[in-house]
Amino acid sequence: MAYRRPFPDLEMPTSLLGTSSQATSSQARRSLVDLGDSDDEGDTQVDENADKFLLGVVEVNVVGLQYYSGRVSDREMVRLIREPSNPYDGNAIQVVNILGDQIGHIERYKACHLAPLVDQALALIEGIVPHGSKNKFKMPCLVHIFCNSVAENIVKQRLRVAGVILQPPKTELEGSELQEYASNVKKPRKEQKKCLDDIFDELVEGAGDRCIMDPSPAITSTMFSHQKEALAWMVRTENSASLPPFWVTQKVRGSKDLMYKNIITNYLTDKRPIPLRGGLLADDMGLGKTLSLLALVATNRPGATLSPIVKVNPTVSDASESRPKKKRKVAAADEVGFELGVTDYPPPVSGPRTTLIVCPLSVLSNWVTQLEEHTMLGSLSVCLYHGADRIRDPVVLGQFDIVLTTYNILATEGCSEFSPLQKVNWLRIILDESHLIKSPSAQQTKAVVALKAERRWAVTGTPIQNTARDLFSLMQFLQLEPLNDSSYWRRTLERPLTNGDPSGLTRLQALIKAIALRRTKNMQVDGRRLVELPSKTISLHSVELTPEDRELYDKVEENGKEVIERFMESGTVLQNYATVLQIILRLRQICNHSALCPAYTEMFAAELNQKDPKNVPPPELLDKLLNIIKGGADFDCAICLNQPTNAVITPCAHVYCQRCIEKSLLRNKEQCPMCRSNLSASDLMAAPKEEGAERGQAVEQNSTKSSAKVDALINLLVAAREKDPTEKSVVFSQFSQMLNCLEGPLADVGFRFVRLDGSMTSKKRQAALTAFRSKDPDSPTIFLLSLKAAGVGLNLVAASRVYMVDPWWNPAVEEQAMDRVHRLGQTRDVTVVRLIVTDTIEDRILELQERKRELATSAFEKRSAEQRRLLRIQDVQLLMRL
């Protein structure tokens, strides 16, 4: 089939493009709500077990072994699952092994006391079998009980009254698996010596032999050495029949049979685990991951003839390894032992042929451009699965080489059996900006995990943004057993990490080394940097408010302080978080342009006159907050990740499409999907259309008026033009209305400019990108960009100057935006200017960024709900100078 090129003319639905690194979309959304709290920024899942510690151990018997087929080994971890629907015992607790095979039940006498603790969410229970069954009816099991400090006394008292002996946590337990539980005892946490950056740095430094591979002739562009190295690694991984990480072979005593053991759970089976055949491409931003992936698709195709994988600069002793290997059959399982090696065979012709590429909508045009630039015309058949007229026949979809779609489409279609994407058996799936699925409870994550494929690749420059928990959804997607099970992930990796247990860090390092390839721009290879990029300099440009704007700013800040101080005195800051956000957002808008913030004479009258500050803000206040959000920053629905349709806001200040949140409330518990606060349909509030329309008109009318920041930016741009009229610049702002305010002044001084924001269709975005990238003397020299819509996934090397109009809570988001310009293909030195209004909230945002960096020095630190609450309050105090 011919390579289809209808993309530039294809009209796509309007959408907000968040992305990436979503450090970006999700993080930007959450960091506005949580002021950049590093624990749960961008994560829509609240870990209900985060505050639980090991209270003690209860010895029980597992009974009914004769009725079930599940088997366990000595010191094996098992799952304990409540079975309230059991017709014989309403307190039944199942015991199952790593594969979910039931072993038996906890004896009734103990289960009747443990089950209520689980049902009432007072305790979490986990099990370890000290040794296998010595008879066919029952076996011992150690039940480890976890709870938080609030429930500690309740749990102890109930067990004591019931006569159940709660043994204290043991400091010395037989077997390494049992010893891990000793570190989960409630005690002062030891300082973690390594952070996530250290792990990735060691992964770079500890890389083994470097091998490269030439791509298929279908790739017309010349690839860098590090891209060929990525290709070789991915092809070798895809075609490997090696055991997955943490699995080893084990001989059975007195038998020739070969068994397979998971070394972190002690599970033993005679069934060979499925090879991983995929992994995590975690190269730094701007290193050309897209081209490496296109080379993989074009090269490792069904029935293809593969080029040899050779070492870079091989020595005499290993020169023979650089020769093409003879093809060989895969050895039988009982002949191979632990290391099986590479099969050397590409995917079979009789199998699936299609690669599904999933990406944010903002990155879709980049994939289209890369396909056109780097692949031979007609070499790959491509289908764009997007828009109302997309192909819905799974048989037809399975005949293309590549199908391109977005996370939004997957979230919309979900895991339904009626989704064509769920019906196709894909050759491989590539998740671009894969950190977008880091919330296991998100609809798009569930849909991605449910897809069927033989090979799976997660692609992101920021795989872990906050904590190791961010990796769990990737384990689900990669189907790496048993770490794709939340219980085993928590027990074997997350909890040891957060408690400072060295085994957790060791396992995480081993995991990342086994599944990930990571290179950075500054990486040294043979005494030279991996890629030679021009320099990048970042500077701050201070701006002083005009006397008129300073008067407005001081008035708003003074009134805002009075409101927040009342909340602090009554201990209701977080209950009134929507009001706090409104105040902070108003101050940030004034720093940019007073037109973004209508000057209310009694701006906070409603808040000051609240009779009961313990109540959530009244509907009129939340309506006003939503109007600010709609008129100021780029926001998307937290469920479908599209621009909100009939937007509504919750009392906890989260924005959704009305249809999305109503469906969620019907399908799930009556809780906010973002923060799990109690929520019902009657709590949802929509913005009055008349007021929103008036606000838009007011901004439009006042946008001709200048501001100190607008004047400062224009002066900088004019000065740069005088030095070099051909140099191009990009201007980022979080507020789309601020871009409106810049258009008039830019035109007045003779600049040609284009714009890209979240309200534009794909066709208009592509037209703006094409115009800006043009080398025509009359092409635009200024690109106005929404930080949300254009902060990631775009190639803007046509520019060499970057202006950040306003600071964001998370510096990683700004760095992502800068790297749209400072990346492969850039030939000029890059200059970045951050405009900051002095003696305002913008100064304090910079301080907050630094404090967040300090708090993140150990990415494994576990914080209780109380600690997170205090951090948020401290953030508010810092920003408001309280």
Q: Which pLDDT tens digit goes with each residue over 838-854? A: 999 898 888 877 766 55
Q: Looking at residue 508, what is its pLDDT?
A: 85
Cα-trace Rg, the chain:
29
The topology (CATH level 3) of 204-528 is Rossmann fold (3.40.50)
Q: Looking at residue 231, what is its pLDDT?
A: 95
Torsions phi, psi of 124, nearest 5? -115, 135
Q: Domain 550-563+572-700 is of which CATH architecture?
A: 2-Layer Sandwich (3.30)
Closest residue by Cα to residue 412 from 435, 446, 389: 446
Q: Looking at residue 141, what is its pLDDT?
A: 92
Torsions phi, psi of 383, nearest 5? -125, 130
Count other Cβ atoms within 10 Å, centred on residue 585. 20
CATH class of the structural domain 703-866: alpha beta
Q: Looking at residue 214, what is its pLDDT?
A: 93
Q: Looking at residue 170, what is its pLDDT?
A: 60
Residues 468-512 have pLDDT tens digits of: 777 899 999 999 988 998 888 988 888 888 777 788 888 888 888
Q: Looking at residue 327, what is its pLDDT?
A: 40
Characterize 624-638 residue by residue with b for buried, 16 or more Cβ atoms within 10 angstroms of its Cβ, and e for exposed: bbbbbbbbbbbbbbb
Give the torsion through C-alpha atoms of 705, 838, 598, 626, to 10 deg.
120
Q: Tell me the angle at which helices 811-818 and 25-34 cross, rounded to the nearest 10 degrees.
A: 150
Residues 62-107 have pLDDT tens digits of: 999 999 988 888 889 999 999 999 999 999 999 998 888 899 999 9
Residue 249 tokens, joined: 């072979």
Q: Looking at residue 426, what is its pLDDT?
A: 97
Q: Looking at residue 711, what is its pLDDT?
A: 94
Residue 727 tokens, joined: 């140099």
Q: Looking at residue 198, what is its pLDDT?
A: 59
Residue 635 tokens, joined: 């926001």
The topology (CATH level 3) of 53-184 is Alpha-Beta Plaits (3.30.70)
C-alpha span between 557 and 71 (Å, rounded): 65
Q: Looking at residue 660, what is its pLDDT?
A: 83
Q: Looking at residue 605, what is its pLDDT?
A: 41
Domain ranges of the chain: 53-184, 204-528, 550-563+572-700, 703-866
Low-confidence ranges of the chain (pLDDT < 70): 1-51, 132-134, 170-209, 254, 313-344, 465-467, 527, 574, 578, 598-638, 640-645, 652-653, 668-669, 674-676, 686-704, 791-793, 851-872, 882
Whether the domain at 204-528 and the domain at 550-563+572-700 fall into the same CATH topology: no
Q: Are strands 830-837 and 536-543 parallel, antiparallel or unpaired?
A: parallel
